[in-house]
Structure 1
Amino acid sequence: MLRNYLRIAFRNLWQHKGFTFLNIIGLTVGMVAFFLIFLYVRFELSYDSMHSKADRIYRIVCDIKTPTETLHASQPSWAVPPHLTGELPEVESAVRVGTGDTWLVYRGDQQFAQDDVAVADSTFLQIFDFPLLKGDRKTALKEPFSVVLTETTAKKFFGSADPMGKSLALGQEKLHATVTGVLKDIPDNSIIKASMIVSMNTITQRLNRGLDDQWGNYGPNGYVLLKPGASAAALEKKFPAFLEKMNGTEMHKINMIPTLFLEPLRDVYLRSTRDGSKTGNITDVYIFSIIGVFILLIACINFINLTTARSADRAKEVGIRKVVGAVKGQLARQFIGESVILCLMALLLAVILTALLIHPFNQIAGKIISPGIFSHPGDLLILLGIAILIGIAAGLYPALVLSSFQPVSVLKGRFATGARGTFLRKALVIVQFTIATGLIIGTLVVYNQLNYMRSQDLGFNKDQKMVCDTRGDSSKLVLKQAVSGLPGVLSTAMSGSVPGGGNPGAYSQIENTHGEMQIANLDLYFVDFDYIPQFKMKMVAGRAFSRAFLTDTTNAMVLNEAAVKLFGYRSPKEAVGRRFDQWGRKGTIIGVVQDFHFRSLQEVIKPLSMRIEPRACDLLSINIDGQNIPATIGTIEKTWKRLMPDKPFSYFFLDEFFDKQYRAEDRFGKLFLYFAVLAIVISCLGLMGLASYSTLQRTKEIGVRKIVGASVGNIVFLLSKDFLQLVAWSFLVAFPVSWFLLHGWLKSFAYRISVYWWIFAAAGMMALLVALLTISFQSIRAAVASPVKSLRTE
């Protein structure tokens, strides 16, 4: 019996190769897109799930209230984590982790500029479960100048030799350090990124003594491990008393009141909105989840539409089989079986295509979403289950409807497709193109927003700026002077920060409109005299730093417009000449620079101060001529090696560095575009199949109309208008839904476009045009066919 079912199924599929092909291809593409999105979403949701104690690990964050504002910091002060364990019984352990730094590392005569160097307390490997391949978890980071390397970094420094107990030299001073552990490479789905880890007491006990007791200095990330059963909410309520006990007098004296909060470790990546910590976006995960479901839904609609549309052609087959003894159950199993076979064929192709596409998809996503489709065999069972469910759903209509027909009526030719079947197909087409049109609208909005961010006037010039990090070398000023005279170099400047990079926040007191010294935390740029003209920043009041004024090196400050507004001044001119007191430096404000975007356009421009501080200016910004960039870089490198032979030469271009802030948005835009295109293609495949079937059903009608004088245009319009009306209805549904969802997405950007009417009009026209092109192929072919052949069809 089973063999007979299979023989009939494959015979039917082969006889209608066109419909079979469209069904399989549409479903295959849908499954591939859904599975790739499924892998992406699962990866994003898996951040920091590798730690067995993840449900008890929390990140410590801090709100700092000043008389003018509340700062939302992602780190506590240096003193908070080491004092928590002994003071609060809910805390089992705590750790400070500073990440993202670049250190000079020396191994014999070799020198490396090692990125992603972390510093961490000795409790790091006891709280987090990163696999330690060599060394003792309890003691690896206990002593000063202890270093734990990742597997890749160990091979980079020592090759195939055992690194344990070997020596490295750190920093410009070449401080002796010992390798005390080797860590398996930290996976991509971890918020902690590190290529090597230096013991925290290297900093707190040797390089910068006293940090453990600094309550007003906000430093590395802090994490706390709660005891089993302890409540994070209850612990938060104890923080105010804890801070009051440990540092109450000082914090009230400087009028900066911190409030500590706890963020669950698993929420930090996707849900934290703290400055500098938001590397993921739960909204993007929701959006891609919806897109994945929608694409699979479109593919299912295609499959069901084409399957039910063809079911009427098999009415006589059903009648004959019932006459010769087939029962309703047998017929139902036959139709469902054929549908499931088609789905399983699509599944096989989907698995092959996904295996081929997974590595390019990893590159687009910018991380290893999955090493391969077979890395999680259970995923294939999910796909198998989906395929079987789609097959059952698609085969259910013909199975239940056709198998219940009376054979006498069918064989006498009194069978016709019902209005309910036609309505179902129309409703499904509307749903399908509503999704496709919504994705077209979304693509236009996403790309307009990204272009808007890139085309905004940033308030400074970032073109042809080459930046080198001198890492505090004593020859940095000599290097600047030497580079300034090289051919192809237009100008140079030294600074501690460049736009798009990090910069410190500084406890500041600025004279306000009432003549009082108002406390605030200002972002701080250490610069030299050439910095403001080098980046072509505009002064809106007062003057820039000048060598003509010797006092500019000690008691002069430049503010931006946002800082001026913070202190209540109605115009920038009113702030010029006012007093400041910042980090032990006192003086007057000499000028106000026009606001410029020193961070991503996702953030509003924050209050900023600038001061001359040669010792803190390690970044050499070089404005180069664009005529012969490789030659200019070559001469700069030779000068560097002559003056700084102990420092590896490295550089970056500011425009590329600044644009890195939008890398996540760029990837989001690309993925959104690719999946939107796939959704449209799948929709078109289904529409093409329905148009082909509709044309086939009306072949004789077309022949009669041509004989009585209908033109090709009349026939094309006749065959196309019903489908185009459905597409138009889908636009009316997609318009309000898309506007609501996209308006919410745009709220995450401080500077954003408006969702203009023309975006919706353009999307609607694109959807209609795509549908028309899809339908017209079959319509024109039917319209130009000979009416004699049309009338002879059965």
Structure 2
Amino acid sequence: MLKNHFKIALRNLWRHRVFSFINITGLSVGITACFFISMYVAFELSYDKFHTKADRIYRVVTDIKTPSETIKTDVTSWAFAPNLKLDFPEIQSFVRVSGGSFLVRKGNVKFQEDNTLFADSAFFKVFDFKMLKGNPNTALIAPASVIFSQKAAKKYFGNTNPIGQTVLLSGEAMPAMVTGIIKDMPENSQIKADMILSMTTLTQKFNKGIDEQWGNYGATTYLLLKPGVNAKVLQSKFPAFIEKRNGEESRKRQMSATLMLEPLKDIYLHSKRGGQEVGSISNVYIFSIVAVFILLIACINFINLTTARSVERAKEVGIRKVVGAAKGELAGQFIGESVVLCIIAFFVTVILSVVFLPMFNQLSGKIISPGIFSNVSYVAILFGISVLIGLLAGIYPALVLSSFKPVMVLKGRFSSGTKGNFLRKSLVVAQFSISIALIIGTIIVYNQMDFMRNRDLGFTKDQMLVMDSNGDPAKQAFQQAIKEIPGVKSTALSSSVPGGGNSGAYSEIENNKGDLQIANLDLYFVDFDYLNQFKIKIVAGRPFSRDFMSTDTAQAMILNEEAVKLFGYSSPQQAIGKRFKQWGREGKIVGVMKDFHFRSLQEKIKPLSMRVELNNLNLVSAKVDAKNLTATLAAIESKWKELIPNRPYSYYFLDEFFDRQYRTEQRFGKLFFNFAILAIAISCLGLLGLASYSTYQRTREIGIRKVLGASTPGIVNMLSSDFMKLVGISFLIASPIAWYFMHKWLQDFAYRIDIQWWVFAVAGVLAMVVALTTISFQAIRAAIANPVKSLRSE
């Protein structure tokens, strides 16, 4: 019996090859898209879960309260972790990590290792990063100990064993011994490094005494709690700990700290405090919904196409029932055919997944999976999804087909009934509601990305070349040398550029009441050319000037407008001449600059201070002419190699660098757009199925109308109008739903677009055009058919 059903199924699929191709294509594309999204979501949810002790690892974060604000940071002071371990037996181990960048030399081989971490010796006791060579228990104990990743080690040592060998670090050529090689850190880890230095290198060589600094915040701290310890109970003990250890100093500095614990597994997606790498739980939710929608659309499409063909098999069912076939047997046959079709779709899906997975990895910006055969469960999941769709989606068509009355269908009086029509139309409404919602979402995402790319940032970033000298003594000589290159318009030195990070500084600024108000201000060290170089406007007072070199290099500060508001001034002019104290410097405010976006548009502009500090300027920025750019870059590189020969030459353009902050959102937008296109395409196949079914049912009516003089445009309009109503209903359902979810998504941006009415109008028109184009093919075909053929049986 099963063999017979299988033969009949294959025979029907082959006989109706076009139908089978459309149905299999829709299912395959839908399952493939759903599979890719599911892998992406699973990957995002897997961050840091590969650590065996992940349930007991917590990051310590800090709320720092000053008289001006509360700063929510992802770091702690350097003294917290060692003292927490001393005071709380609940803590098994602690690890502090801090980022760095080092010039690394081995003979003639030299690279700037930007992806470097300092880490405490318990690093491998807390985290499960695999050590390939070396002893994980001792590798990070001694000062000047260094561990490389596989990838980094190969650059310096090739295929030789690096353990025990020495490399030279930074411009001072400090020797460091290689004590370990680790496997390249997994993609789904928020902690990533190509080089790890022992924390004692920092605390004993580069910054002695930092372990005792309670007010110096810069360490990312992780605690491994002992089994059974309640993190919330432990956290409740921290206020007493801070009061005991640092209460007096906190009151003196008017800066109080509140410590909290974040589970390691929650940091990547749920923490609002940032980190080395962060994700978006909102995007995960949105893509999960999109995956379900695409799969739902594919199933609806399958049902509509199958029931559209039901009239063609009505007589077959009638004859089978006359010769004794039971309803259950017929239903089983049709469900079997559905499963066979879905199994064929499974093999097509496997091929599509193999072909398009590399492209999907590139689009997502991550190696979600090296290949679907790298994990047997992937193929098993695909097969399971396909069979399940075949069973679930095949039930309704099977019940419809098996319930035909043989007497009626053999007399040619078959009708599917109003209930069937209502269900099919409801399914099309559901499909197009999803599609229109995705169109609206795509337009809003694109507009937000366009807004962020084109918004006036308050500074110029075009054709701005940035090079990091990493403190090389020849940086000023290099800056002066490249000024003479014809393609270089201007240059400047600074500690930071917009979008490139900055330091927070404990500051005391005279407020509108005449008191020194404590605040933590972002701080840029700049030279005299910086403001003019980036076209940052001064709205009160004056810019830094060489005419006041003696005072501007020691006693002058410029604030932005946001900082002026923080200290209570109603206008920028009122802040001019006010006192400041910052990092051992005292002086007066000489100017106020217009607010500019020195961070991502996802964050509000924060208070910023600038000072001239010529000894702390590592970045050389050059405004270059777009003409003869290649020759200009070559000339700059030549000067670098001449004046800074010990460091590898590298550069970036500020506009590209600044835009990197939006990579996550840009990738989200691209993924969203591509999956929206797929959903719309599959929906059109479903609409084509319903149009096919409807025109077949009305064949005789169309023939009669043509005999009575109806025109082809009139018949096309008659057949299309019902479907346009369905699309209109879909639009009314989709619009408020799309507005709600996209409004929620936009809340993650401090600077965002307003959702305009025209977005919905464009989406509605697009849906109408797509639907009308799809329907017209079938409607025109029916309208131009010879009426004699359709009326012959009457």
TM-score norm. by structure 1 comes to 0.98
* Residue 754 (structure 2) aligns with: 754
Does the CA-based 8 Å contact 1:97-1:120 persist in structure 2?
A: yes
- Within-5 A mapping of 1:446-465: 446-465=445-464
* Residue 32 (structure 1) aligns with: 32
Does the CA-based 8 Å contact 2:435-2:680 persist in structure 1?
A: yes
- How many Å apart are 1:357 and its aligned residue? 0.7
- Within-5 A mapping of 1:207-286: 207-275=206-274, 279-286=278-285
* Residue 23 (structure 1) aligns with: 23
Q: What SS does the aligned partner of 1:220 have?
A: strand
- Within-5 A mapping of 1:707-718: 707-718=707-718
Does the CA-based 8 Å contact 2:303-2:397 persist in structure 1?
A: no
Distance in 1, matches of 2:274 and 2:251, equals 24
Which whole-Å deviations, capped at 9, do the CAs of 1:277-314 have from their partners, x for residues lacking one? 56210000000000011000000000011112322332
Which whole-Å deviations, capped at 9, do the CAs of 1:722-750 have from their partners, x for residues lacking one? 11110110000001111111110000000
Distance in 2, matches of 1:217 and 1:647, equals 30
Structure 2 letter corresponding to 1:498: V
Task: Extract structure 1 runs of 4+ deviating beyond 4 A.
Answer: 275-278
Does the CA-based 8 Å contact 1:524-1:608 persist in structure 2?
A: yes
Does the CA-based 8 Å contact 2:727-2:768 persist in structure 1?
A: yes
Q: What SS does the aligned partner of 2:35 have?
A: helix
* Residue 780 (structure 2) aligns with: 780
- How many Å apart are 1:406 and its aligned residue? 4.1
Does the CA-based 8 Å contact 1:598-1:605 persist in structure 2?
A: yes
- How many Å apart are 1:696 and its aligned residue? 2.6
Does the CA-based 8 Å contact 2:191-2:276 persist in structure 1?
A: no
- How many Å apart are 1:83 and its aligned residue? 1.6
Does residue 566 of structure 1 match 2:570?
A: no
* Residue 56 (structure 1) aligns with: 56
Q: What SS does the aligned partner of 2:217 have?
A: coil
Q: What SS does the aligned partner of 2:49 have?
A: coil
Which whole-Å deviations, capped at 9, do the CAs of 1:54-105 have from their partners, x for residues lacking one? 0000011000000010000110001111221111121111010113x32100
- How many Å apart are 1:137 and its aligned residue? 1.2
Structure 1 letter corresponding to 2:543: A
- How many Å apart are 1:478 and its aligned residue? 1.2
Q: Against the structure 1 CA distance between its residues 92 and 72, is the aligned structure 2 distance closer, same or farther, given a 3 Å change threshold?
A: same
Does residue 769 of structure 1 match 2:783?
A: no
* Residue 601 (structure 1) aligns with: 601
Distance in 2, matches of 1:779 and 1:409, equals 27
- How many Å apart are 1:31 and its aligned residue? 0.5
Distance in 2, matches of 1:318 and 1:365, equals 48
* Residue 622 (structure 1) aligns with: 622
Distance in 2, matches of 1:365 and 1:495, equals 34
Does residue 89 of structure 1 match 2:85?
A: no
Does residue 419 of structure 1 match 2:389?
A: no
* Residue 286 (structure 2) aligns with: 287
TM-score norm. by structure 2 comes to 0.98
Distance in 2, matches of 1:409 and 1:690, equals 23
* Residue 161 (structure 2) aligns with: 162
Does the CA-based 8 Å contact 2:579-2:586 persist in structure 1?
A: yes
- How many Å apart are 1:782 and its aligned residue? 2.1
* Residue 737 (structure 1) aligns with: 737
- How many Å apart are 1:777 and its aligned residue? 1.3
Does the CA-based 8 Å contact 1:304-1:393 persist in structure 2?
A: no
* Residue 655 (structure 2) aligns with: 655
Q: Structure 1 residues 373-382 or 52-61, which shifts more? A: 373-382
* Residue 328 (structure 1) aligns with: 327
Distance in 2, matches of 1:36 and 1:209, equals 50
Distance in 1, matches of 2:466 and 2:743, equals 38
Distance in 2, matches of 1:474 and 1:386, equals 63
Structure 2 letter corresponding to 1:386: I
Does residue 390 of structure 1 match 2:389?
A: yes
Structure 2 letter corresponding to 1:20: S
- How many Å apart are 1:415 and its aligned residue? 3.2
- How many Å apart are 1:611 and its aligned residue? 0.2
Distance in 1, matches of 2:36 and 2:158, equals 36
Does the CA-based 8 Å contact 1:204-1:211 persist in structure 2?
A: yes
Q: What SS does the aligned partner of 1:187 have?
A: coil
Distance in 1, matches of 2:66 and 2:583, equals 16
Q: What SS does the aligned partner of 1:558 have?
A: strand
- Within-5 A mapping of 1:309-388: 309-388=308-387
* Residue 579 (structure 1) aligns with: 579
Structure 2 letter corresponding to 1:713: P
Distance in 2, matches of 1:34 and 1:398, equals 23
Distance in 1, matches of 2:651 and 2:14, equals 62
Q: Against the structure 1 CA distance between its residues 787 and 319, is the aligned structure 2 distance closer, same or farther, given a 3 Å change threshold?
A: closer
Does the CA-based 8 Å contact 1:74-1:277 persist in structure 2?
A: no
Q: Structure 1 residues 238-247 or 567-576, which shifts more? A: 238-247
Structure 1 letter corresponding to 2:628: N
Does the CA-based 8 Å contact 1:123-1:138 persist in structure 2?
A: yes
Distance in 2, matches of 1:665 and 1:329, equals 52
Distance in 2, matches of 1:719 and 1:13, equals 28
Distance in 2, matches of 1:78 and 1:146, equals 20
Distance in 1, matches of 2:331 and 2:479, equals 83
Q: What SS does the aligned partner of 1:526 have?
A: strand
* Residue 537 (structure 1) aligns with: 536
* Residue 297 (structure 1) aligns with: 296
- How many Å apart are 1:668 and its aligned residue? 0.5
Q: What SS does the aligned partner of 2:222 have?
A: strand
* Residue 504 (structure 1) aligns with: 503
Structure 1 letter corresponding to 2:236: K
Does residue 672 of structure 1 match 2:672?
A: yes
Runs of 5+ in structure 2 lacking a partner?
Answer: none
Structure 2 letter corresponding to 1:740: Y
Which whole-Å deviations, capped at 9, do the CAs of 1:497-539 have from their partners, x for residues lacking one? 0000111000000000000000000000000000000000100
- How many Å apart are 1:122 and its aligned residue? 0.4
Q: Structure 1 residues 622-631 or 598-607, which shifts more? A: 622-631
Q: Structure 1 residues 593-602 or 630-639, which shifts more? A: 630-639
Structure 1 letter corresponding to 2:254: N
Structure 1 letter corresponding to 2:248: T
Distance in 2, matches of 1:306 and 1:285, equals 31
- How many Å apart are 1:107 and its aligned residue? 0.2
Distance in 1, matches of 2:164 and 2:325, equals 81
Distance in 2, matches of 1:277 and 1:269, equals 9
Distance in 2, matches of 1:433 and 1:164, equals 62
Which whole-Å deviations, capped at 9, do the CAs of 1:220-269 have from their partners, x for residues lacking one? 21100000000110111111111111111111100000000011001111
Does residue 466 of structure 1 match 2:465?
A: yes
- How many Å apart are 1:175 and its aligned residue? 0.5
Does the CA-based 8 Å contact 1:268-1:278 persist in structure 2?
A: no
Runs of 5+ in structure 1 lacking a partner?
Answer: none
